[in-house]
Amino acid sequence: MNLVVFLPLFVPFFTGIIGLLLWGKPQAQRVVSLLGGIGLTLVGANLLLTVIQQGIQVTYIGDWVAPFGITLVADLLSAIMVFVAGMMTLSTVIYAIVTLDAPRERNGFHVLLHFMLFGVIGAFLTGDIFNLFVWYEVMLISSFVLLVMGGERAQLEGGIKYVTLNLIASALFLSAVGILYGVVGTLNMAHLAILVPQVEQQGLITTLAILFLFAFGIKSALFPVFFWLPASYHTPPIAVTVIFSALLTKVGIYSLIRVFTLIFTTDTAFTHTVLLIIAALTMILGVLGAVAQFEMRRLLSFHIISQIGYLLMGLALFTPLSLAATVFFLVHVIFAKSALFLVGGIIHHMTGTYDLKKLGGFYRVSPVLSVLFFIPAMSLAGIPPLSGFWAKYALVRAGLENNQPWIVAAALGVSILTMFSMTKIWAEAFLKEADDGKLRENVPALQSIPAALRLPMLAPIIVLAVLMVVMGVAAEPFFALSLQTAEQLLSRTEYVQAVLGVQL
């Protein structure tokens, strides 16, 4: 058994179990949770370094050799996602320790967080499509509880929509896996990559591809099935929203990238055109929803949808450059979105509201907070020299090289609207003073937060902001890694060779 691949699964599981044993001792749970977050980041970094140096890592659970047993596979994409997931867990744990209310913490927030991560990491690492379904359910059942924990009316109402849509998606995913097994006769993804092109009824494979697209589309909030996201993501406390926005829809996108680069590549003229159209509609409708909002969390929730459109655009164009852009964008958007939600959380902590109409004056009172908002906001809009610029530049270039000017036009237009809604937050919450032209009174400064809480609240945002600047200023090594990831995804031979030991 290859421990390097197995440890990222084991750490959150073990942390969750220890957390359960320490039930009713929130202090001890905090320590365990923090150690778990640090541990996951470290084993994630270890996995990424190993995969970069030694190529794809594979381990067979119970030594049942593929395709008969369950395989864990860590290629570059999986390893990058596992590492980023570890970093986001650590950020969330630190932020939750200082901001989360005592009842939620006592009722097992930390335990559920790590069990959810267990599912997320499992989904990133599995090499078996039915096993992917199981990891999805591990992730979902924990996220259900995290979402409605606290039992406020809005949470329960949002929870019903989230739970219902996700259960429908799971049922469709399960049906699709069943039919795929009936047609092809294997569940191992590398084996599927070999056998799917040999199937005689290619029409059935295309139908299955669309069924998978629909199931994963619900989970990653694509047009036209994204309505559960803005109805539910703004209801829980910000620590929960941050980890949801950072990882859950991204697991959906990860799965789409996996199945549409590894398995369903026989009829790209049809499937990837469908993906491209959906990508355009997702980004446009997401940003239009955001422009209309005045509640910060809801505004940012709609932006999650719009950014998912960009990620899908890179997959749909299906060239090395566009897939590299998607990988780069994936990491960038996880950082940017989380930082923005965290800043929103700090503003709520100080003022008790997310309503942009009631906020104002933070630029004068808290320049530090303003900078920490400005960097991720501009990065999300795609302003150089921040990370978002390179992600969008590569996508636009890939679109032009592929002779798809309309998707480039859509992407650039959506960028302008993203800029518009980010400047709206900037103008309303940071620049705006009182209506009668006088300076706004009673704007709380960062100093109003006790010093012991201030640093842990700001630390994750500072780290994320620095990373965004570094990814922008020194984009070369990050983009080279993304390009390598994209080539690995597109060629598929390395993946199949690593899992099955045969040539594609």
284 binds another protein (CB under 8 A): no
Half-sphere exposure of 360 (CA within 13 A, CB side): 13
- From the list 112-120, 149-157, 325-333, 453-461, the region that binds another protein by CB under 8 A is 149-157
Pick 229 or 346: Cβ nearer another protein:
229
Identity of the amino acid at 461: I
The answer for residues whose C-beta is within 8 angstroms of residue 329's C-beta and 6 or more apart is 307, 310, 311, 314, 388, 391, 392, 395
- C-beta of 200 vs 476, nearer to another protein: 200
Of residues 185-204, those binding another protein (CB under 8 A):
187
What is the footprint of another protein within residues 259-278 (CB under 8 A)?
none
Question: What residue ranges in 8-163 does DSSP mark as E strands?
Answer: 57-60, 71-74
Query: How many secondary structure helices (H) and strands (E) does the chain include?
Result: 22, 2
- Under the binding rule (CB under 8 A), the answer on residue 175 touching another protein is yes
Asked whether position 219 contacts another protein by CB under 8 A, the answer is: no
Give 147 or 257: the residue with its C-beta nearer to another protein: 147
Query: Using the rule CB under 8 A, is 130 a contact of another protein?
Result: yes
Q: Which stretch binds another protein (CB under 8 A): 53-61, 132-140, 257-265, 310-318?
A: 132-140
353 near another protein, rule: CB under 8 A:
no
Residue 72, helix vs strand vs coil: strand
35 is a contact residue toward another protein (CB under 8 A): no
Nearest by Cα to 72 from 87, 57, 89? 57
For another protein, the closer of residues 151 and 203 by Cβ is 151
Judge whether 377 and 290 are in contact, CB under 8 Å: no
Binding segment for another protein (CB under 8 A), chosen from 145-153, 247-255, 316-324, 345-353, is 145-153
User: What is the distance between the alpha carbons of residues 119 and 22, in angstroms, rounded to a whole number?
Assistant: 21
Which position among 36, 67, 86, 159 is part of the footprint of another protein (CB under 8 A)? Answer: 159
Selected range binding another protein among 112-120, 154-162, 363-371, 488-496, rule: CB under 8 A: 154-162
Site string for another protein, 469-498 (x = CB under 8 A): ------------------------------
Tokens encoding 113? 């967080």
Q: Is 235 in the site for another protein (CB under 8 A)?
A: yes
Cis peptide bond N-terminal to 385, omega within 30: yes
Alpha carbons 119 and 38: distance in angstroms, whole number: 18
Determine which residue in the list 167, 445, 490, 504 makes contact with another protein, applying CB under 8 A.
167
Closer to another protein by CB, 182 or 437: give it: 182
- How far apart CA 499 and CA 379 sit, in angstroms, is 38
Q: Which residue, 232 or 245, has its beta carbon nearer to another protein?
A: 232
Q: Which segment (38-46, 137-145, 245-253, 453-461) binds another protein by CB under 8 A?
A: 137-145
Selected from 28, 45, 179, 274, the binder of another protein by CB under 8 A is 179
Residue type, 177: V
CB 336 within 8 A of CB 388: yes
- Closest to 220 (Cα-Cα) out of 308, 105, 331: 308
158 forms part of the interface with another protein (CB under 8 A): yes
Number of residues that bind another protein (CB under 8 A): 39
Q: Is 154 in the site for another protein (CB under 8 A)?
A: yes
Q: Which is nearer to another protein, 83 or 135 (CB)?
A: 135
Closest to 414 measured CA to CA, from 380, 372, 387, 385:
380
Beta carbon of residue 249, minimum distance to another protein (angstroms, whole number): 18
Q: How far is the CB of 134 from another protein (least distance, A)?
A: 6
Query: Residue 198, Cβ neighbours under 10 Å: how many?
Result: 8
Among 3, 49, 171, 371, binds another protein (CB under 8 A): 171
Which residue type is seen at 139? M
Q: Taking CB under 8 A as the rule, does residue 465 contact another protein?
A: no
Question: In angstroms, how far is the first alpha carbon of the chain from the final one?
Answer: 24
Please give the C-alpha separations between residue 110 and each of 58, 81, 138, in angstroms, as whole numbers: 30, 21, 15
Burial of 101 (0-12, 13-18, 19+ CB in 10 A): exposed
CA distance 93 to 112: 12
Stretch of 100-108, 177-185, 421-429, 453-461 lying at the interface with another protein (CB under 8 A): 177-185
Query: For another protein, which is the closer residue by CB, 295 or 487?
Result: 295
Closer residue to another protein (CB): 2 or 175? 175
What is the sign of the dihedral through the CA atoms of 99, 101, 104 and 108?
positive
Distance of CA 371 to the CA centre of its chain: 24
Of 162 and 254, which CB lies nearer to another protein in the complex structure?
162
Q: Which residues bind another protein (CB under 8 A)?
A: 130, 133-134, 137, 140-141, 144-145, 148, 151-154, 156-161, 163-164, 167-168, 170-172, 174-175, 177-179, 181-182, 187, 230-232, 234-235
